Structure 1
Amino acid sequence: MDFTFGPDDATFREEARAWLEAHLVDEYAAAIGAGGPGSEHEGIAVRRAWERELGRGGWIGLGWEDGGEAAGGRRRATLTQQVVWAEEYARLRAPARVGHIGENLLAPTLIAYGSKEQRHRFLPPIAHGEALWCQGYSEPGAGSDLAGVRTAAVRDPERGGYRVTGQKVWTSLAQDADWCFVLARTEAGSRRHHGLSFLLVPMDQPGRIEVRPIRQMSGTSEFNEVFLDGARAEEVVGGEGNGWTVAMGLLALERGVSTLVQQIGFAAELDRVVRAAVDSGATGDPVLRERLVRQWAELRTMRWNALRTLGTTTDPGAPSVAKLLWGGWHKRLGELAVEIRGAAGAVGPHDWSPGAPYEIDEAQRLFLFTRSDTIYGGSDEIQRNIIAERVLGLPREPR
């Protein structure tokens, strides 16, 4: 596509920047830079309030195909305007979004596969920043191999809907979410991608849903285990038994403008690593210097790849290629962040008084958290299989 910014985009950029500068004040100014991968625990209450502020401003749902306005937001923005908004948001380091899953995954899925009644019920709370969602896909033994889902759902003859029983894992922000979209097996005895349904489950069900945070080696707990014991599911999206189609459609949406936001954050992290390398004298090492330059060049490549695929929905390998690129890139950046400091990179700013908790700094958190980048969201091995089988047409891996 011809991806150039025109006069309308410049006007839109001024509007977006002015709105952000006018609203990133007081408690929101204190939350600038808060959140993001490895730091999702920061300022949840303020970031939830910020989500509602974005909703009042009409800045949620800019990329929805039919319905920012119908859901109470502003008209749909063009692709270039969506990029403009993402760039200004990231450059001003506005608080990391807690509504990402609802806005960028669940809402487009409802627009594509949901009923009119479901769109009218669930889109407005997302557009207003009032409802937070989490994703109930992975399970113990069924992470990257999503077709191995064992969570079961049976029809509830008394209240309608379904009763869901099973366990989900690696569920981001489940402890704060209001709703969860759950992939569950609604046909007893079904196997693999058959007999699955895409269900919408309210999280406020004491005694029926238990959330257990998973403490990571970075010390934070973005991810959770979710145990469902006869939890009520109120809606099925796309019809019973069509869950695999809906789930795959949703995964195909995990790219686009949001990847550009991610890359702007990556650029800020790279700048901090480069500054640290200059300050420490590590740039005198030609090997480290070459690796820093390579990180910069690869980030530029990722940006152009994202722009190349932004306007197309016909490339089944695009999400996998993007995941392979950014997962490995971010992991290598975390390694560089500690390597440029030498032996000092192994020791945190620790208070050695008795009983004091061991703390790590920003670079060390980056290193520890990025160990997971090539695993979560589909491991590198799975992404390569998808490219090989669905794009290149190679023989399927024996199972």
Structure 2
Amino acid sequence: MKLSVTAEERQFRAEVRATLLADVPERIRRAVYEEKPLPREWVVEAQQILNRAGYAVPHWPLEYGGRPWSAVQRAILTEEIDRNAVPKPLAFNVALVGPVIAAFGSEAQKRRFLPAIANLDLWFCQGFSEPSAGSDLAAVRTAAVRDGDVYRVTGQKIWTTYAHEADWIFCLVRTDSSGRKQQGLSFLLIDMATPGIHVRPIRTIDGYHHVNEVFFDNVEVPLANLVGEEGHGWAYAKFLLGQERTSMGNVGFARRRLERARSHAEAAGLLADPAFRRRLTLAEIELKALEIIQMRVVASEGAADAGVDPKVSMLKIKGAELLQTAAALLVETLGPEVLTAGFPRDAESAPFQGLASDPAILSAYFSSRKYSIFGGSSEVQRGILAKTVLGLGRTA
């Protein structure tokens, strides 16, 4: 099992790091480092820089902009993007809908959407979760009824991240209710400017506007926007959800946050506190262990008999816990001053203006609660490990 890095891989890391630091503006990297929301144009600017460097979609097929890189090189790229506070390529575009279109879309859809998705000329959001269908996607109720050369879509999606910024939404919709619920789902691409779509913001505990409710009221969607075959949406959704496996550990992000916590603690004199120093050091040790697990998962990619490595669930669980631990340590470095913070009154105002030392730390702390929920909750991941590793719940 690979646990070492070759000279070529070290050189690759150095080249990636140099490119990122040279090409991505300091104003963008500073905002990411401080975990502040970025203006839409900064997100687009950063992704277009990455796309020009060949860093936006290296995992795609070569004919659509992918790179002939190993899984280890792709993991190095992801870690360097995170560690150097560069905005990741928009996951909804490059990790989710793009691979689905590349694998199952028509030639016309590939020509129309893939270059724009890679370059963030079109911003996609994800329309999967519903009030009655969160972790159980097969329970989707949003209906798409064929009417001539269009579908008429009616229903509601919820927790739709960046729907207020998006140009398009990819949706799991119900086109048939007669059989098993998994068999009646289809995968549609919908222009957010279409009449009948309404977006309502949801203000989260971190004080920002990230997520939304999206309502569809008899929305006309051309049949040409159906990806693949009608009724095969469940298979496409499973394919989509399997795309971002080895990045679930967020190793680069956790390292950056822990380094920041150590820097703040040193400035505040907290490294002299044995209890605080022990907690920080333990988190750093756990991060190194997580990095080794991720390397093992990455090294197993591409093996013919590899299947889905159950260690992916370990990455997800421990990665979420480390991000939450690092956020808690950062908050602690601020001391009682953190309690003077207030939430923004509107989407444009800077959060926690009363907090002089570092405005977004408390926001990041609250936002970190989501990491153990989305992408498969920690409870779900433990269930997977219990079944696949320990053999619990299996019948003889």
User: Normalised by the shorter chain, which TM-score bucket?
Assistant: 0.7 to 0.9
Q: Is the 8 A contact 1:38 1:218 kept in 2?
A: no
Structure 1 runs (4+) greater than 6 angstroms displaced:
none
Deviation of the 1:176 alpha carbon = 1.6
Q: Is the 8 A contact 1:35 1:43 kept in 2?
A: no
Q: Secondary structure at the match of 1:167?
A: strand
Alignment of 1:249-264 (within 5 A): 249-256=239-246, 258-259=247-248, 262-264=250-252
- State the distance in 1 between where 2:21 and 2:273 align: 40
Q: Which residue of 2 aligns with 1:336?
A: 329
Q: Which residue of 2 aligns with 1:149?
A: 140
Q: Which residue of 1 aligns with 2:156?
A: 167
Greater percentage in helix: 2
Distance 1:318 1:176, change over 3 A: farther
After superposition, the C-alpha distances for 1:234-286 in whole angstroms (9 at most, x for unaligned) are 43334222222211121111222x446x3212211111212222333333443
Deviation of the 1:389 alpha carbon = 4.6
After superposition, the C-alpha distances for 1:360-379 in whole angstroms (9 at most, x for unaligned) are 52321121111222223332
Deviation of the 1:182 alpha carbon = 0.8
The answer as to 2:54 corresponding to 1:54 is: no
- State the distance in 1 between where 2:191 and 2:253 align: 32
**Which of the numbers 161, 171, 175 marks the counterpart of 1:186?**
175
Q: Which residue of 2 aligns with 1:85?
A: 77
- Count residues in correspondence: 379
TM (normalized to structure 2)?
Answer: 0.84
Q: Secondary structure at the match of 1:33?
A: helix
After superposition, the C-alpha distances for 1:77-102 in whole angstroms (9 at most, x for unaligned) are 222332343344334322x1352221
The answer as to 2:219 corresponding to 1:228 is: no
- State the distance in 1 between where 2:313 and 2:217 align: 34
Q: Which residue of 1 aligns with 2:261?
A: 273
In structure 2, give the amino acid aligned to 1:291.
R
**Which of the numbers 357, 376, 379 marks the counterpart of 1:378?**
376
- State the distance in 2 between where 1:227 and 1:37 align: 33
In structure 1, give the amino acid aligned to 2:20.
L
Deviation of the 1:220 alpha carbon = 0.7
Deviation of the 1:319 alpha carbon = 4.0
Alignment of 1:287-302 (within 5 A): 287-302=275-290
Q: Which residue of 2 aligns with 1:105?
A: 96
- State the distance in 2 between where 1:92 and 1:135 align: 27
- Of the structure 1 ranges 109-118 and 373-382, higher mean CA displacement relative to structure 2 is found in 109-118
TM (normalized to structure 1)?
Answer: 0.83
- Of the structure 1 ranges 184-193 and 267-276, higher mean CA displacement relative to structure 2 is found in 184-193
Alignment of 1:305-344 (within 5 A): 305-310=293-298, 311-312=300-301, 314-315=307-308, 317-344=310-337
Q: Is the 8 A contact 2:35 2:361 kept in 1?
A: no
- State the distance in 2 between where 1:250 and 1:264 align: 23
Q: Which residue of 1 aligns with 2:2?
A: 2
- Of the structure 1 ranges 102-111 and 307-316, higher mean CA displacement relative to structure 2 is found in 307-316
- State the distance in 2 between where 1:316 and 1:74 align: 24
After superposition, the C-alpha distances for 1:7-49 in whole angstroms (9 at most, x for unaligned) are 544554454344334423xxx332223358964x322212213
- State the distance in 2 between where 1:116 and 1:263 align: 36
The answer as to 2:238 corresponding to 1:248 is: yes
- State the distance in 2 between where 1:202 and 1:173 align: 14
Q: Which residue of 1 aligns with 2:202?
A: 214
Q: Is the 8 A contact 1:327 1:374 kept in 2?
A: yes
**Which of the numbers 100, 105, 111 marks the counterpart of 1:120?**
111
After superposition, the C-alpha distances for 1:34-74 in whole angstroms (9 at most, x for unaligned) are 358964x322212213322333333321111x23xx23x36
The answer as to 2:68 corresponding to 1:76 is: yes
Distance 1:271 1:385, change over 3 A: same
Distance 1:394 1:166, change over 3 A: farther
* Percent identical residues: 36
Q: Secondary structure at the match of 1:315?
A: coil
- What are structure 1's unaligned runs of at least 5 residues? none
In structure 1, give the amino acid aligned to 2:276.
L
Q: Which residue of 2 aligns with 1:32?
A: 29
Q: Is the 8 A contact 1:259 1:306 kept in 2?
A: no
Distance 1:309 1:356, change over 3 A: closer
Q: Is the 8 A contact 1:374 1:380 kept in 2?
A: yes
Q: Secondary structure at the match of 2:245?
A: coil
